[in-house]
Structure 1
């Protein structure tokens, strides 16, 4: 019996999330597939479940979370070394009524 070691959060995702620490070379099973881990990956970190080309969107939760900064092979760890966040900060202090020269009550 195969033990599920990763989770595909949404059917459109091209990455899976490690449910435990995974060693390099381990077979990683998830609900609908399997891959070999190219590197050691810690609990909660992402692995590519398919090949992702440089510049392509990394999809998690069914939404783009960033762009691949290089080609990523299935089973590779996805993190800041090969992913650029596409998030745009939309919160600003001036939107929250913050006044830097106001004294606290």
Structure 2
């Protein structure tokens, strides 16, 4: 009876390993998905951290770890600048014109193509 259980466990372990290698394609697809998750979800977080540091571009990657944390210093400087109103207005005007002119063009093109 004991030997029967040990052979059954060996078969079970072997079959799991066999399943692992049989599903290699599926695991590669999962690995590709995890790579995309890392690139597009986690790597941008380093840019967010740089916004709160005294980072100099010429220091490279090492500057990311060695630069001093300054908090909201540069955000306060940007929002209290005398040109902020003009920058904000320009951004809103450009976005509005893009929305008004660029948004309907693909829709009109699709309607024209479907009418042919």
Q: TM-score range by the shorter chain?
A: under 0.3
- TM-score (ref. length: structure 1): 0.26
More helix, by proportion: 2
Larger Rg belongs to: 2
Which structure carries more relative contact order (alpha carbon 8 Å, separation 6+)? 1
- TM-score (ref. length: structure 2): 0.24
More strand, by proportion: 1
